[in-house]
Amino acid sequence: MTKYLLLKHYRGIPEPVPGTDVPMDRWTPEEVTAHMEFMGKVIDDLKERGEFVDAQALSPRGDFVRYGGEDKPPVTDGPFAETKDLIAGWMAIDVESQERAYEAAAYLSSAPGPGGRPLHEWIEVRPFLTDNAEVTG
């Protein structure tokens, strides 16, 4: 089994399917509810298969912090693209293969959005780094 992180992005992704890029704050309450219920179903299905590890939605708030010596650490909210602008949430799974991770990501991508239509959202699939993983870069 290999653990993968499935990342849901707000923006900074390849071009969305036309009509699916409506921000969630413009969805009806019923559309938001349907989306959240689907996310719960994905989690239930992954739990049934023994593949679910954890999942969290992320707040749009956030800052960058880095070590700045002995003084107060610098904190910034820009001007570069920030994680809070990109990552909407994540799901950790533990699956038999990369292909199965892709299947789970595609299923997650089919979550309903405006009008109940599948979002076709891009899901980033990242393996966890392990002791025997090949590091490139």
SS3 per-residue string spanning the chain: CEEEEEEEECCCCCCCCCCCCCCHHHCCHHHHHHHHHHHHHHHHHHHHCCCEEEEEECCCCCCEECCECECCCCEECCCCCCHHHHEEEEEEEEECCHHHHHHHHHHHHCCECHHHCECCCCEEEEECCCCCCCCCC
pTM, two decimal places: 0.77
pLDDT for 53: 96
pLDDT for 10: 62
State how beta strands 52-57 and 87-95 pair.
Answer: antiparallel
Domain boundaries, the chain: 2-61+85-127
Which amino acid, one-letter code, is at 51? E
Mean pLDDT by 10 residues, the chain (137 residues): 86 66 85 94 97 89 73 63 63 96 94 90 89 59
CATH architecture of 2-61+85-127: 2-Layer Sandwich (3.30)
pLDDT for 86: 63
pLDDT for 81: 52
| Tokens found for residue 27 | 């969805």
